[in-house]
Structures are given as C-alpha cells and as structure tokens.
C-alpha cells in the first residue's frame, strides 16, 4: 500500500508528543519476549513481528514512524519476531478484559452524533459514560481479586472508547482461549442459570441468597441490597429481590467483550502511547471508582490550535458542551482541538502554538 | 499416602513402578517376551474396542499396571487416533468406578497425584437453599475446593450442562466449590486427558516384537475405523454426500475434523454438528457413519438420537441448528464470521466456491495451480 507523499498533519502532532513524552511509554519487564506492532496513518495494515532490545530503541523507532497506534502483544513468545505463530513459540498470554463504555446498558442513552443535520456520521459518548465504565472496570477487578484470588490487575484507559483490565498474574498465562471465556462469562453473567444458583425444589420454600456467599449468589444479594436501599422502596427486601431479579442480574453483569478475552494473541495498546483514533493517551487509571473522569484528563496537549469544523456540531469534552459552526476558523485549546482533528470532525488550520 | 496403581495405572510410569516395586529398571524386550502379560494387554485393548470396561478382578497389581502400559505402547505403535481415544475412554471409565468408591481422603489423594489442585475448604461451605413446609432448614453442602484453572481445564466438555459452567458455580479466593460426586466425575475427565497425553508423550523404541504385536492389534480394529488417509478414511475435501466440506463454517469444521480424528465430543458439539448437517439434508446413514469415529460410539443409541433430532421420532419436531449466538454461549464459536447463523456462512461460501469453479471452467488455459 502506498502512502501519501505529503505527511498527514496528525503525524506532526504525534511527533510533537513523542519528542517530549516518548520516554513515558510503559513497558512490561519482559518486553523483549513480546511482539510489537504499529499502525501508521493512512495505512490499513499493521506493521508486525517487531522486537526491541531497549526502550530507547523503541522511542527512536516511534519518532521516525510517527505511528497512529502502538501495541505490544499480550502474549509472550520464545521468538517474538518470527513471522508465523507456529515459529514464534507461544508461551503464555496475559488476560485482557475490554469494556467499551458506549456499549454499556447504562450508557445507551448517553451516546450522540456530534454533527447536527449532516451526513458526517460519528458516534461519541458523553463523559459520564467514563465514570460508568470505570466503575464496571473496578467491579471486574474486585471480582477477579475476591473470587479468583488474582493480585496483579491494572486498569487502563484505552485512549478512545473505554477501559482495559489487564491481569498479569503468572498462573493465568497458560489458560486457553475457551477457558478464558469461562472467566469472561462469569464476569458478564453469560449462561447464568438462576434456577441452578437459586434452586427451586419440590416442597421447598426457596431462601434468597446472602451477601457473604461466594459466586453469583453473593453478587446478586449485594446488588439487590444496594438497589433496594438506593431506590428506597417500601416493599420488603425479599419481595424486592424476587420481583426485580432480572434487573438486579443486569446491574451485576460487567458487560465486557468476550471476544477480546478469549484471544490469546491479542495486541495491547502501549500505556503512554497516543491513540490515533482520538489523540488521547493510553494510560493506567489511578483514580478511584467514584471519582469524576473526563476526556481532557487524557490529553497531553496545551496551548492552542486553529481548526475549521467540518460540520455544525456540539461536542461534550472537558466537562462542557462545546458548540461549533461549520467552516468557521476557531482558535481552541490544544486538548479539544487535537481531539476534533483526530476524530475527523475538523480540519487543521494552524498548529504552531500547540504545546505538550 | 499411597495410590493403588492397580486401579489407576496411568498415575505411575512403567519404569518408576518397576524401580519402586522390583528394584530394577524395566527391560521392555523381556516384558514383551512374557506371553501372559502381553495377552492381558491385548485383552485390555480388545475390551475397549468392543465397548466393554476391562474386568481385572483376580489379577495382581503387577499384572494390571504392566499390562496397561504395554497396551499403551501397542496402541501408540498402531497409531490410530480412534483407538487411542476409545482406549482412554474405557480405561478412564474403569478407574472412575473405583474413584466413586474411594473415601474423601483417597479421592483427594488420587486427584492430587493426577496433578489437580484440590483441597478441603477450611470450613465446609453450607448454603441455606430454603425451608421445608414444616420450617426445617435445607442446606447444600460442598466438601471440596478445586483451583479454578484446573476446573475450567477439565470441565470444558461439560459446559453444555449449565451446572458445570463456571458462572453457575460458587467461586471464592481462586477456588471452585465442588461436591464429592462431581469431583469424581471431573476425575474421570482428568484420567481421560492423562491417558491421551501418554500417547503424545511416550517415545517408541524399535523392537521387533512390538512391531508384530502391533500388527496383531491392528487386526482387531473394525474395518470402518482403520485409517487410510489418517483421517478415518473419510475425505476432507470435495463433496461428501450432499455436504461440501470446504464450505463449512469454522465452528462446524472444527467439530467435523475432531470427529474424523476420533476425538471425544461434548453433548453440545454432537448436537451442533448433527442438527447442522441434517439441515443441509444429509440422511441418517451419513450421520451415523460420521459418528462411528467417536470413541464411545453405540450404533443403536446414535441412530435413535439422530432420528429424534431429524423429527422422525418422538414429537416429530425437527431440531434446528444453533445460531451463532447459541454457539458462542456454549463455547463452540471459534471465529468472527460476520454472520448470524452458521448456515448463512455455509450457503454464501457455497456460492463463492461455485463462482470460482465456473470461472475456472471459462479459463481453462490458466497455468496457475490452485490450492
């Protein structure tokens, strides 16, 4: 595939970022056993099967290629730069959960098309979705710790639509894809059979589960308690439990994308790298589950950018609703400017005052 | 605590056993000269072929352990995937019968020696499930816990049955609670996997006696299972009855290939492939023949079940094949095909293949060799 002879303006911005922050890329200790992969601007295919001996070498590569996206493999290989899976010698993979916030049921009514009355179609989500998604990510982490006894769990913002939960415990590395699916199903409640976990037997008056019980019984009981209290309903807890069981189950489900979890040769976005779909930075989340999260926190860009919007639009970013008119040149703050540019919602006019 | 190897002969290697019991390293040549033990090994294989559990009553531990290992060697030499799976299945079944009779300590011990991380919970878990009309409390009790990695590894063929799916289990601190009868059932699967693993691991030494004995065993395999192309004799490409195998969706093709190899299939895998092929219009005979490759094949039962699925028995309702969602939830979906139903994939592939064929016909001069 041939590349455009003139460089994409986004590449200058990516270069600006990595020149200052290229050293901030976070790599696992065993990065020499991982395959690196890159997507370049205006190229559909990935550059794959690349290895690096040092972080410096990686930084130099990135400053030359100015990639749209940068990844390393969740898998560990004997020969990570071998061209085929067979030759690579798969020797395990970290477990990954993918939570796309715009797919969450609680976020369904919070997605929007920023372009009003226009053929430019694009779906964005309101920033509240980040908190909803982060809460789900923390729940997943909590279940993995409590129910599965796992210890080394990180939550990463993917740089675009959601969160990745990465489980690095070594005794998970060798799980096969279908075995990983059982974990994803456990988190998501896929295949949950209420008649099995809360058995109804002849001549038996069923008892509702208790919050301290293991597995889904405890999870359902805890969510029922929480919802009953929150909704301050006058019906008894027991009655509430039986009549809202389906809704309680829905709340207790995590909603991760199981296809990501079962893939034992997945690519992980490098923390500290820029996500070319948004101009935001992939990063480990340190905030707690109840704290406010906004998109601008993940942008490293300051200063200003001159842009020209491609449609009349409203964009939720940085805690505000930002309104723009088509074809008028705006001087905006670096963070939202880069976001609009990378989302394909605006054209670049001048980037000389952009700072990292 | 010692394991009774006469019941679980796969838990010790032949060499370790000989060294431990007789203080000498095994001499395979002379063992194979021993007619009575070799006959026992062949009888053991014959039992499996005939679908019977080997009855070793009255035999010494030596006889039972050594004959098992000789049988494994012979089967390895014969190199029939069907026979391997068949033998592993019936030997696992034999050991399972003993396992069900073990007390809690021995059960746990056997499984630990098998490599399963199983334990008793610090406190027995009792779940209050309800009350009788008279107000008496009713509890479910769980005697054992098993590390979740081993649990998902050995239960995969049971997931179709909801109660075995991890999501419906009580899980805490990395362990899955499990009842004694369930643990024994899981043990049977562990044994099966272990015996199958032996066929992959052992290396054969060239011994003349072994060759001739293996030939003898080969004669015992019913004709229909004798492998001609290494795939149970059935062709993998082109038309098989009405089915164009090349057009099968990845999920069905996987099951199909596993069947040809003689792998043991789960209930849902059997249901998925049977209903799928029935929907394509294959007849009972074709399916029965395909199922012949399975290690636990029983013609009467298979025929009955297929006819049931085809709507020729019982309610007269024909069962429809799983859609992609159902395949996925049963862990049978293996690729993202961009369709909602495996049949859609099949028919669109069929059209593609047809088009390709037509093109080939119109351009016969092409020198390119097609795969």
Residues B84 and B211 in one domain: yes
For residues B332 and B238, membership in a common domain is answered with yes
Instruction: Pick B149's closest partner by Cβ from A171, A196, A207.
Output: A171
Q: Please report residues of B whose CB lies closer than 8 A to that of A193.
A: 162-163, 165, 168
CA angle B329, B191, B77 (to 5 degrees): 110
Q: Measuring CA to CA, how many Å separate A237 from each of A193, A194, A228, A242, B228?
A: 22, 18, 7, 9, 66
Instruction: Verify that B248 and B340 share a domain, yes or no.
Output: yes
Indicate if B305 and B163 belong to the same structural domain.
no
Distance from C-alpha of A138 to C-alpha of A153, rounded to nearest angstrom: 10
Together in a domain, B212 and B248: no
Calpha distance B273→B70 (Å, rounded): 36
Q: Is B261:B253 a contact under the CB 8 Å cutoff?
A: no
Q: Are A345 and A120 in contact (CB under 8 A)?
A: yes
Q: A210 to chain B: which residues are within 8 Å by CB?
A: 128
Cβ-defined contact of B133 to A205 (cutoff 8 Å): yes
In a shared domain, residues B81 and B166: no
Complex ipTM: 0.91
Which residue carries 């597995």 as its tokens?
A: A215
Residue A180's closest chain B neighbor by CA? B152
User: Is there a single domain that holds both residue B151 and residue B290?
Assistant: no
In a domain, B371, yes or no: no
Q: Give CA–CA dist A167/A74, Å, rounded.
A: 10
Does a structural domain hold residue B1?
no
Same domain, B345 and B253: yes
Active-site hit among A100, A102, A171, A263: A100
Domain map (residue ranges) of chain A: 9-186+257-355, 193-252
Interface of B with A in 146-205 (CB under 8 A): 148-149, 152-153, 156, 159, 162-163, 165-175, 177
pLDDT at B224 (0 to 100): 67
- Look at residue B239 in the predicted model and tell me its pLDDT: 43
- pLDDT at site A34: 96
* A122 vs A141: CA distance, rounded Å: 31
In this structure, what token pair is assigned to residue A7?
């460089």
Answer yes or no: A98 catalytic: yes
Neighbouring residues of B59: CB distance < 8 A, sequence distance ≥ 6: B6, B40, B67
Report the alpha-carbon distance of residue A79 to residue A96 in Å, rounded: 22
Last-in-domain residue among B146, B174, B191: B191
Q: Which of A24, A257, A263, A296 is catalytic?
A: A257
Asked if B94 and B210 sit in the same domain, the reply is yes
Q: Is residue B369 part of a domain?
A: no
pLDDT per residue rounded down to tens, chain B (371 residues):
789 999 999 999 999 999 998 888 878 888 888 999 999 999 999 999 999 999 999 999 999 999 999 999 999 998 888 899 999 999 999 999 999 999 999 999 999 999 999 999 998 899 999 999 888 999 999 999 999 999 999 998 888 788 999 999 999 999 999 999 999 999 999 999 999 999 988 888 778 888 888 888 888 888 767 654 333 333 333 444 567 888 899 999 999 888 887 788 888 899 999 999 888 878 787 788 888 878 788 888 888 888 888 888 766 778 888 988 888 878 788 888 888 899 989 888 888 888 887 776 665 444 443 33
Token pair listed for B356 = 């390709």
CA distance B273 to A258: 23
How many Cβ atoms from other residues are within 10 Å of residue B344's Cβ?
15
HSE-up of residue A277 (Cα within 13 Å, Cβ side): 11
Task: Give CA–CA dist A32/A78, Å, rounded.
Answer: 10
Q: Give the structural domain span for B198.
A: 9-99+194-218
Task: Please indicate, yes or no, whether residues B27 and B167 belong to a single structural domain of this protein.
Answer: no
Name the nearest CA neighbour of B341 among B270, B281, B275.
B275
HSE-CB of A349 using CA atoms within 13 angstroms: 16
Q: Alpha-carbon distance B113 to B117, whole Å?
A: 9
Which residues in chain B have their CB less than 8 angstroms from residue A183's CB? Answer: 152, 166
> Which bin fits B322, alpha (ψ -120 to 50), beta or left (φ > 0)?
beta
Question: For the purposes of burial, counting CB atoms within 10 Å of the CB of B301, is it exposed (0-12), middle (13-18) or buried (19 or more)?
Answer: exposed
Determine the distance in angstroms separating the CA of A251 from the nearest CA of chain B, rounded to an integer.
Answer: 16
- Spatial distance between the Cα atoms of A185 and B168, rounded to a whole number of angstroms: 10
- Domain covering A9-186+257-355, topology: DNA primase, PRIM domain (3.90.920)
As a whole number, mean pLDDT of residues A259-278 equals: 94
From first CA to last CA, the distance across chain A in angstroms is 32
The pTM of this model reads 0.80
């Amino acid at each position: 595939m041939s590349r455009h002879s003139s460089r994409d303006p986004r590449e200058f911005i990516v270069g600006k970022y990595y020149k200052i922050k290229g050293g901030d890329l976070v790599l696992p200790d065993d990065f020499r056993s991982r395959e690196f992969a890159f997507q370049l601007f205006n190229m559909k295919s990935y550059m794959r099967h690349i290895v690096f001996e040092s972080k410096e070498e990686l930084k130099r590569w990135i400053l030359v290629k100015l990639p749209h996206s940068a990844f390393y493999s969740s898998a560990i290989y004997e020969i990570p730069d071998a061209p085929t899976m067979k030759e690579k010698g798969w020797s395990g993979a970290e477990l990954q959960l993918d939570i796309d916030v715009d797919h969450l049921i609680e976020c369904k009514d919070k997605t929007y098309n920023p372009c009003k009355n226009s053929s430019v179609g694009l779906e964005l989500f309101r920033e509240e979705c980040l908190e909803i998604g982060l809460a789900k990510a923390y729940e997943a982490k909590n279940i993995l710790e409590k129910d599965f006894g796992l210890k080394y769990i990180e939550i990463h913002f993917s740089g675009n639509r959601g969160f990745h939960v990465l489980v690095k415990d070594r005794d998970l590395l060798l799980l096969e894809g279908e075995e990983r699916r059982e974990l994803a199903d456990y988190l998501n409640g896929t295949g949950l059979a209420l008649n099995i976990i809360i058995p109804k037997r002849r001549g038996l008056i069923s008892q509702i589960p208790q919050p301290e019980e293991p597995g889904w019984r405890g999870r359902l009981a805890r969510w029922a308690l929480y919802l009953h209290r929150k909704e301050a309903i006058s019906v008894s807890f027991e009655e509430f439990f039986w009549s809202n069981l389906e809704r309680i189950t829905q709340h207790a489900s995590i909603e991760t994308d199981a296809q990501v979890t079962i893939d034992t040769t997945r690519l992980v976005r490098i923390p500290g790298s820029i996500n070319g779909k948004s101009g935001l930075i992939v990063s480990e989340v340190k905030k707690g589950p109840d704290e406010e999260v906004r998109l601008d926190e993940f942008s490293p860009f300051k200063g200003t950018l001159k842009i020209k919007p491609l449609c009349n639009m409203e964009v939720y970013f940085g805690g505000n609703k930002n309104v723009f008119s088509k074809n008028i040149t705006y001087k905006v703050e670096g963070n939202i400017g880069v976001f609009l540019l990378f989302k394909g919602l605006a054209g670049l006019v001048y980037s000389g005052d952009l700072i990292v | 605590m010692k394991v009774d190897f006469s019941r679980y002969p796969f838990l010790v290697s032949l060499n370790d056993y000989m060294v431990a019991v007789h203080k000498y390293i095994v001499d395979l040549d002379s063992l194979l000269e021993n007619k009575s033990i070799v006959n026992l090994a062949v009888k053991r294989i014959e039992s499996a072929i005939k679908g019977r559990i080997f009855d070793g009553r009255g035999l010494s531990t030596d006889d039972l352990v050594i004959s098992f290992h000789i049988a494994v060697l012979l089967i390895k030499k014969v190199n029939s995937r069907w026979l391997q799976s068949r033998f592993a299945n019936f030997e696992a079944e034999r050991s399972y019968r003993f396992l069900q009779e073990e007390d809690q300590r021995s059960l746990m011990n056997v499984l630990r020696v098998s490599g399963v991380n199983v334990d008793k919970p610090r406190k027995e878990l009792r779940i209050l499930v309800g009350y009788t009309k008279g107000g008496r409390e009713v509890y479910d009790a769980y005697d054992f816990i098993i590390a979740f990695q081993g649990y998902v590894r050995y239960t995969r063929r049971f997931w179709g049955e909801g109660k075995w799916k991890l999501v419906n289990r009580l899980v805490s601190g990395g362990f899955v609670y499990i009842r004694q009868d369930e643990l024994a059932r899981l043990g049977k699967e562990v044994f099966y996997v272990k015996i199958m693993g032996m066929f992959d691991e052992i290396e054969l030494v060239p011994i003349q006696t072994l060759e001739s004995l293996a030939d003898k065993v080969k004669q015992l395999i019913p004709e229909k299972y004798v492998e001609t192309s290494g795939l149970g004799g059935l062709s993998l490409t082109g038309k098989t009855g009405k089915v164009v195998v090349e057009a099968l969706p990845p999920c069905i093709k996987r099951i199909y290939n596993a069947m040809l190899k003689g792998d043991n299939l789960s209930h849902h895998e059997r249901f998925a492939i049977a209903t799928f092929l029935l929907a394509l219009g294959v007849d009972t005979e074709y399916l029965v023949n395909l199922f012949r490759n399975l290690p636990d094949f029983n013609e009467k039962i298979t025929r009955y079940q297929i006819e049931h699925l085809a709507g020729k028995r019982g309610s007269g309702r024909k069962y429809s094949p799983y859609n992609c969602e159902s395949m996925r939830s049963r862990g049978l979906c293996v690729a993202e095909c961009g369709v909602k139903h495996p049949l859609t994939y099949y028919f669109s592939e069929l059209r593609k293949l047809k088009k390709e064929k037509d093109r080939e016909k119109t351009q016969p001069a092409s020198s390119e060799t097609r795969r």
